[in-house]
Amino acid sequence: MKRVLHVALREFLATVATRGFLLGILMMPIIVGITIVGVQSIAHQAPPRVQGEVALVDHTGAVSAGVSRYLAPAAIAARRDTEAARVEDALPETLREGDGGIAGAAREGVLAALRDVPELTLVALDPSTDVEEAKRQLVSAEGRRLALVVVHPDSLERKAPDSPFGSYDLFVREKLDDRIVDEIRTGLRETIVELRVSRAGLDRELVEALTWVPWVDSRTVTDRGEEDTNEALNVMLPAAFMLLLFVSVMTGGQALLTTTVEEKSSRVVEVLLSAISPMQLMAGKILGQLCVGFVVMAVYGGMGAAALVSFALLGVIDPWLLLYLVIFYLIAHFVIGSLLAAIGAAVNDMREAQSLMGPVMMVLMIPWLLWMPISRAPSSAFAVAASFVPPINPFVMLIRMASSSPPPLWQVWLSILVGLVSVYAALWFASKVFRVGVLMYGKPPDLRTLVRWVRMA
């Protein structure tokens, strides 16, 4: 056992204490950090103030006054202030209070973007204007014209009682900020609706009151009581757990494959086998890479936890879930890791390993395809069945456990039992292939040869 630990220690250090690993594991947080800082500074940087004119060909003769009022800078500023106040109300408490850090910066960014007011002048053109000629001004470099609106004559009153209302055409300059386009659209819609309603002899406020039903947030009822349903979190949390499991398993598994191929191709393996048995070697390597996976899990998991703490959402994670994460990680690592170690032992170099790795990678892609359907319907018959199919059962089970309706405990433990059986089978198969393969050089084995090796060992 002591020797297995020596092998494990070497394996761990040889993987972790390399520039590649440190760079790889730190790269992700660095990229995330840069993105956050970058987005903040972009958000802080107020875009250049938009100035220019909006031309309007009004065939009704009634619309231009309303649109002009709507697009006046003072009116836009007033609307944005209202919007900003609404956003501030809707922000989570932690974001509203914190002045520094991510929370403060994010709030500043959102509010600053809302308060940037464009300066638009409405120019009413004569209805007899040549529209083609007016359009050309949108192309000219020196012109101040940003948009051209042509309001149809029947946009306020129908031509016949059963025909639909007319509308308007909108032409804009290239690369016009879409927020400006939205302002123009909304201005026209508001004005046209206002005029249609009043011409129909109705009260606009009454119509709005009659058609308004608020958006209601759902509340999740559990045996612990009622709580707000956090819909985004319901989808993201299972994904986060699956990702954590996947990254940890793959980091350790990949390294296991690489070091085994290296040991074989550098011919150090037979030197090792003079001191320890192939089983001790494989056990030590799997154990060493298990620790590598735990390091990855701790780093990324820690980052996730830090993010949750900064949003005061740490409470959404059930501590038991972490325990199950570890259990399922152990199962997934032993199954995937031992298969990859066997592949490493069977081939001569990394290129040959790629082709044998294909099927393993394909299987590992399945949880990614299943993530959405399973996190949406964690108790569907399909999800339940997939929880007992190795080697994807640890991934599926974690998705279900982190979802809004966790599976009953018996299913969890049955899945763990299935996992343990699959661990035993994978280790059995891998140990046989490893024992024979690690000293075989030459043509890489096909499936038939592998089966023969298993029989031989």
Which residues form the interface with another protein (CB under 8 A)?
2-3, 6-7, 10, 14, 18, 262-263, 266-277, 439, 441
Residue 14 Cβ vs another protein, minimum distance, rounded to whole Å: 7
Distances from the Cα of 390 to the Cαs of 179, 322, 341, 420, in angstroms?
A: 50, 21, 18, 10
Residue (131 or 271) nearer to another protein, CB = 271
245 near 396, Cβ under 8 Å?
no
Q: How far apart are the first and last CA of the chain?
A: 22
Residue (88 or 262) nearer to another protein, CB = 262
- CB within 8 Å of 297: residues ≥ 6 apart: 244, 245, 247, 248, 325, 329
Residue (311 or 441) nearer to another protein, CB = 441
Residue 6 Cβ vs another protein, minimum distance, rounded to whole Å: 5
Distances from the Cα of 174 to the Cαs of 70, 178, 180, 185, in angstroms?
A: 23, 11, 12, 17
- The whole-angstrom separation of Cα 434 and Cα 284 is 13
Residue 10 Cβ vs another protein, minimum distance, rounded to whole Å: 6
Residue 354 Cβ vs another protein, minimum distance, rounded to whole Å: 21
- Give 124's strand partners: 56
Residue 439 Cβ vs another protein, minimum distance, rounded to whole Å: 7
Residue (201 or 442) nearer to another protein, CB = 442
- The whole-angstrom separation of Cα 372 and Cα 375 is 5
Residue 331 Cβ vs another protein, minimum distance, rounded to whole Å: 29
Q: How many residues does the chain have?
A: 457
86 near 178, Cβ under 8 Å?
no
Q: Give me 296's structure tokens.
A: 């990855």
Residue (18 or 380) nearer to another protein, CB = 18
Residue (58 or 263) nearer to another protein, CB = 263
